[in-house]
Amino acid sequence: MTNGGLILDGLTPHARLHALCLLAAHPGLRPTSGRRSVERNRAVGGVQGSFHLTGRAIDLSGGRGLLVAAARTARAQRVSHGCTGPEEVIDEGDHLHVAW
């Protein structure tokens, strides 16, 4: 049992919808980080002004092929009328960071 559900709960409704669609498209992905407090963000070495602070970013772990495929999906994904896609899609090697 992961805490993926709780991680998603901390996201904005828009980011959460994107995350749910991405997870549905790539079931092997595992959410590892969502909204962070300033203290938590500093502790994990997050950048200042990170989208994690406002609940707009999520980190996802999985195998290499899965992360590459998920990055492609995330860039193409639109979830609502007027949706312009992600703000950030960063393949960090051991995880994928996506912000909306």
Least distance from C-beta 94 to Zn ion, angstroms?
A: 11
Identified binder of Zn ion from the candidate list 20, 72, 83, 94, rule CB under 5 A: 83
Q: For the chain, percent helix, then strand, then coil, each to nearest 5?
A: 40, 15, 40
The answer to whether residue 97 forms part of the interface with Zn ion (CB under 5 A) is yes
- Give the 3-state secondary structure of residue 93: coil
Neighbours of 92 (CB within 10 A): 11
Identified binder of Zn ion from the candidate list 29, 59, 62, 70, rule CB under 5 A: 59
Distance of CA 22 to the CA centre of its chain: 9
Least distance from C-beta 25 to Zn ion, angstroms?
A: 14
Residues that bind Zn ion (CB under 5 A): 57, 59, 79, 83, 97
